[in-house]
Structure 1
Amino acid sequence: MSFRTVLGHEKSIHWLKQAILQKRVVHSYLFWGNEGIGKKYVALQFAKALNCLDKGWEKGDACDSCLSCKKIDQQIHPDVLLIEPEGQTLKVDQVREMHKDLAYRPYEGRRRVVILSAADRMAPQMSNTLLKTLEEPPLHTILILIANHTRGMLPTILSRCQSILFNPLPTSLVSRWLVEKKGMDEKEASLLALLSEGSLGKALEIKEEIDEIPREGLLKEWVGVKSLTLEEIDSLIDSFPSQRPNLILILEISKTIVRDLIVTKISKDSSELIHSDLSETYKVIASQWNVSSLFHRLEILQKTTRALQKNANTRLALETMMLAWAEG
């Protein structure tokens, strides 16, 4: 594993390689972007390149075969520390312990590299401890903060780090990776890639969750139903998952079902369906709809999903969706 093995992120990797080759590596970096897109993996490859015994500093990349590279791959290198949150957030003691560790010179490598995950989920007290480290960076030490976003992070921390944004991976890359590395069929991989928001990690999480979603039930009891009573609407809203990410996933799956209904209306080719196992049910339900009404429902689902992603009130967003649904 090395920069050569990273999927996507060409621009970010180019910057890091140039920093190594031009000897312009700074003390503090912030790698940020959507969860599960490879930030931590790239940070480890950066650490390998910095400590590679086979002229990593001259090549700008790791060899993957020297003792240092192998130790980092196995996460047993004494100079490469990966600090993960215990639970949902980092603990104060973890950051304090890191601050102490940074005072020591590297044991084996050229640089001591500390990778701090969940840097966007720190309490103010932890942020202040981290800020002390950033204000007086130890020699021979590089700190890499990993964050999903920069909201809530202290401006003084952000100003002391070189920020590198990691963009979502293209859908085609995610799909190809799922087929080649996970052995999925192309249709399943395409669906997961579509829902993943450019994140390999999220694609794999959705894979586990999607089997629990009653797609045919969604189609027959909600997505494909032309009209609902107020009691049915209340019951449906109450049945939706309370956790926002799970609710958004339900809406994303519902969008693919509406999309399939549209395909069923305008094409007889079932190979174009995302959920081809529902093709017979689609034929029955699609016959009751016109295409413009289905597009209207698709638009409503898209608006509701965007609202929830922006932290809109869940109940209000669902009620608004259902009322707009009835107007279609």
Structure 2
Amino acid sequence: MSFKDVLGHEKPIRFLKQAIKNNKVGHSYLFLGNEGIGRKFVALQFAKAINCLNRTDEEDSCDKCLSCKKIDQNIHPDILVLEPSGQTLKVDQVREMQKDLSFQPYEGRRRICILTAADRMAPNMSNTLLKTLEEPPLHTVIILIANSERFLLPTIISRCQSIHFYPLPLPIVTRWLIQVKGFGEKEAHLLSSLSEGSLGRALEIKEEMEAIQRERLLIELIGSKYLTIETMRNLLEILPSQREELILSLEVCKTLLRDLIMVKIEKNELINFDLSEDIIKISNDLDLRSLFNRMDTIHQIALALRSNANTTLALEALMISWNRG
């Protein structure tokens, strides 16, 4: 694998290639973006291109030399990847990194350290890391990978070159699921629509989708003009109480509402194609205004949950809003 094998992310790759071409590779980078969209993969391809023994004219790795093969096999002595130990990166991991980076490269041009989940560092780790970023050894490159800058010290952010990675276009995710993972076209469309532009998330959703009762959600929630007490009790059985699972269920509800809207405007390009008969039937009983209102309600509830709103209160708010139309 090399830069040419990365899906999307043309702008970040162009920036990194230019740094290599101009011999201006920085000492510290901050790769920002959602999980599962390829930040770590790009970081590894950057490391390969920097240390490649037969770099191409396009500032890409040859993917064949001994250095490239060692990085692929995770045995290159100059490439260090730090993953969280449990929920967070620990200070001992950073101290070990500092020790490793103090040595000259054994084989490559640069010693490169990739810290994943940098925004989930233990509280006392940030200052330890800052010391290395303030006075980095000349032969090192440190790449921090984080979802956002929110939980990083401003002093850490200011010492890094920030590179933003954005969600992949859904056609790219769909094509990858079909061509690389062997999914059928319709299933790939469904998974990509829920993936938020993340290849990793698309695969996770495949496993989680089996627990989501889409047909019951469509009939008992989406298709209900009003929610009775009995219906609410049934929905509490369908909808999961765990935050991430509940958010996914709400995202599925959004695809169901989107399909109902598409039928109403006579564009039968359905995501939930296997439920088309029920979708067409329910679309006759709901008007567009109600569908858009419900789409907005679910979107707002999902946003609240992502901001750590109480799941029980969020479900209650959803049901109250539903009966308002």
For normalisation by structure 1, the TM-score amounts to: 0.92
Q: Equivalents in 1 of 2:266, 2:302: separation in Å?
A: 27
> In the alignment, which residue of structure 2 is the partner of 1:277?
274
Gaps of 5+ in 1: none
Question: Are 2:114 and 1:137 equivalent residues in the alignment?
Answer: no
Question: Are 2:252 and 1:257 equivalent residues in the alignment?
Answer: no
Q: Deviations over 1:215-245 (max 9, x none)?
A: 1121222222222224643663475323322
> In the alignment, which residue of structure 2 is the partner of 1:23?
23
Give the secondary structure class of the aligned counterpart of 1:124: coil
Structure 1 residue 122: Cα displacement: 0.5
> In the alignment, which residue of structure 2 is the partner of 1:122?
121
Of the three residues 294, 319, 322, the one matched with 1:322 is 319
Structure 1 residue 163: Cα displacement: 0.9
For normalisation by structure 2, the TM-score amounts to: 0.93
Alignment of 1:35-46 (within 5 A): 35-46=35-46
Moved more, 212-221 or 245-254: 212-221
Question: Are 2:187 and 1:188 equivalent residues in the alignment?
Answer: yes
RMSD over equivalenced CA pairs, Å? 2.0
Q: Equivalents in 2 of 1:309, 1:90: separation in Å?
A: 22
CA contact (8 A) 1:105 1:139 kept: no
Structure 1 residue 178: Cα displacement: 1.1
Structure 1 residue 142: Cα displacement: 0.8
Structure 1 residue 265: Cα displacement: 4.5
Q: Deviations over 1:190-215 (max 9, x none)?
A: 22212111111111111111122111
Alignment of 1:206-245 (within 5 A): 206-230=205-229, 232-233=231-232, 236-237=235-236, 240-245=239-244
Moved more, 1-10 or 282-291: 282-291
> In the alignment, which residue of structure 2 is the partner of 1:109?
108
Matched letter for residue 22 of structure 2 = Q
Q: Equivalents in 2 of 1:148, 1:83: separation in Å?
A: 16
Structure 1 residue 118: Cα displacement: 0.9
> In the alignment, which residue of structure 2 is the partner of 1:298?
295
Identity within the alignment, %: 63
Aligned length: 325
Structure 1 residue 150: Cα displacement: 1.2
Alignment of 1:49-128 (within 5 A): 49-55=49-55, 59-128=58-127
Moved more, 291-300 or 107-116: 291-300
Moved more, 236-245 or 169-178: 236-245
Q: Quick one: structure 1 residues 235 and 282, their matched pair in 2 at CA, closer, same or farther if it must change by over 3 Å? A: closer
Q: Equivalents in 1 of 2:281, 2:26: separation in Å?
A: 62
Moved more, 277-286 or 42-51: 277-286
CA contact (8 A) 2:227 2:322 kept: no
Q: Equivalents in 2 of 1:151, 1:263: separation in Å?
A: 37
Q: Equivalents in 2 of 1:310, 1:168: separation in Å?
A: 20
Moved more, 89-98 or 273-282: 273-282
Structure 1 residue 123: Cα displacement: 1.6
Q: Equivalents in 2 of 1:65, 1:38: separation in Å?
A: 22
Structure 1 residue 263: Cα displacement: 3.8
Give the secondary structure class of the aligned counterpart of 1:236: helix
Structure 1 residue 252: Cα displacement: 0.9
Q: Equivalents in 1 of 2:58, 2:252: separation in Å?
A: 45
Give the secondary structure class of the aligned counterpart of 2:298: helix
Q: Equivalents in 2 of 1:8, 1:212: separation in Å?
A: 31
CA contact (8 A) 1:17 1:60 kept: yes
Moved more, 140-149 or 179-188: 179-188
> In the alignment, which residue of structure 2 is the partner of 1:308?
305
Moved more, 5-14 or 285-294: 285-294
Q: Deviations over 1:301-327 (max 9, x none)?
A: 222223333333433333222112101
CA contact (8 A) 1:179 1:186 kept: yes
Structure 1 residue 110: Cα displacement: 0.8
Q: Quick one: structure 1 residues 188 and 238, their matched pair in 2 at CA, closer, same or farther if it must change by over 3 Å? A: closer
Q: Deviations over 1:57-94 (max 9, x none)?
A: x6421011111111111111111111111222112221
